[in-house]
Amino acid sequence: MKKLILIFAMAFTAFAVQAQNETEKATTEKEEVKGPVITFDETEKDFGEITQGTKVEHTFKFTNTGTEVLRISNVAATCGCTVPKWPKEPVAPGKTGEIKVSFNSAGKMGKQRSVVRIYSNASEPIEKVTLISNVTKSGK
């Protein structure tokens, strides 16, 4: 019986130490990251089915959740059919910005996935947003 109690006590102690380590790890992860951080409200927009030749547009909103000014140096699309527009001025901590992306489905057919890369001085220097659509033939 004493051995059983001793084993139970050792297991409980090990569990308590592990739980404390997990709590400390979670606390550390929640600490504020130094420098700029770009946080998007959403990173993907699915337009569903669109007719070939249709132009669609979506605005991706973001917030600088970091501690320093965010500077977006470039925004690049994977295809000439996708055109991004982004703020050229710095975004202060706590402030918001928008990246407007348009997609022209002329000459496209089927499932389309347009990826836009955002290059900045943020803690993650390259972020991505995506436009998705399924282009179908026009009824003409």
Task: Based on the fold, state whether residues 66 and 5 are members of the same structural domain.
Answer: no
Residue matched to tokens 């295809």: 79
CATH number of the domain to which 90 belongs? 2.60.40.10
Is the distance from CB of 36 to CB of 125 less than 8 angstroms?
A: no
Question: How far is C-alpha 49 from the chain's CA centre?
Answer: 24
Is the distance from CB of 131 to CB of 74 less than 8 angstroms?
A: no
Domain that holds residue 71: 38-136
- State mean pLDDT over 69-88: 96
pLDDT at 132 over 70: yes
Q: Which residue intervals of 56-117 are DSSP H helices?
A: none
Task: Based on the fold, state whether residues 13 and 69 are members of the same structural domain.
Answer: no
Number of domains, the chain? 2
8-23 pLDDT per residue, tens = 555 555 555 565 655 5
AA letter at 76: A
